[in-house]
Amino acid sequence: MASVVPSAVNSIILNGPPGRGHLTASKQSSLKGEYAIGEEIGYRHYSTVNVAVSLFNYNITNNQITSSQYINGIPLPSPIEAGGKTSRGAQGEIGLRPWHHWSPYVSAQYLHATTDNNIQKGSDFLPTRGKIAVQSPEFAAAVGIAYDDGSIFGNFNFNYVGSQYSAIMDDEKVPAYETANITLGYRMRKLWFAEHPQFQLNIVNIGAKNYLSGVQSISTNAKPTRGVNGSTIAGSSPLYLSAGGLAVVASLSTGF
């Protein structure tokens, strides 16, 4: 795994039509407009138990990948235009309306996203066509439960995010990670001139787990790679975002 310490990186802007097999490097300062054609079908049911499920398919042209580069230690936006992208998957969620003040919730998503083009590097092309798209975890899920009786309130939520690639060649990735958070609070009816003063305690990242939470700078290939035309294309390491540790935040608020 590459270091998360910021360092100087090279950035490129890539463009090209989706599904044509190749992209060409460009030094243009502006990107082509991104647009997508998508289909989605689903079902929603609202009652004591709320249910929503859907299937989706999107074909994206001039896919713009958010990235950055460091110049003299300062991070600057350096988006990458990566040609075509296809995203398909399913998502669903189930939630219960407040029952004896309790409201549980579950959601999940499956995603299969691929790059549609090879990317030009110098006089050769990286074989990126058909690779899993960067920043596209295959599976993500969340589980939560909330309580609110008008005075005492709180919630707990647990999130899982699957591994996701940080290089377009799929040769380096961010490992899967989990997070858990708790909110506890008490809401008063009225105290002198204060309307509904409220005390709230937020506990973030229970367990103080250290993990990489995302990608700061995307790489085309993290390792030396044999190009389509046979040459060896040097790699460059992506840069990552490191999540903070345990955080406890207390707040007091009121209306007047």
Residue 213 lies in a domain: yes
Q: Residues 32, 172, 132, CA angle at the centre, nearest 5°?
A: 55
Residue 137 lies in a domain: yes
Residue 206 lies in a domain: yes
Contact 24, 16 (CB under 8 A): yes
The CATH number covering residue 127 comes to: 2.40.170.20
Residue 229 lies in a domain: yes
Domain count, the chain: 1
String of DSSP letters for 4-27:
-S-------EEE--TTSSB-EEE-
Residue 54 lies in a domain: yes
Residue 18 lies in a domain: no
pTM assigned to the model? 0.79
Residue-number span of the structural domain to which 218 is assigned: 40-61+85-255
pLDDT at 30: 67
Neighbours of 74 (CB within 10 A): 9
* H runs (alpha helix) in 10-110: none
Residue 209 lies in a domain: yes
Report how far residue 146's alpha carbon sits from residue 81's, in angstroms, rounded to the nearest whole number: 41
pLDDT at 196: 77
Tens-binned pLDDT, residue by residue, of the chain (256 aa): 343 433 233 333 333 333 344 443 334 456 778 888 999 999 999 999 999 999 999 998 888 887 777 677 676 777 777 778 999 999 999 999 999 999 999 999 999 999 998 988 889 999 999 999 999 999 999 999 999 998 999 999 999 999 999 999 999 999 999 999 999 999 888 777 777 788 999 999 987 778 898 888 888 899 999 999 999 999 988 989 888 888 999 998 886 7
Residue 164 lies in a domain: yes
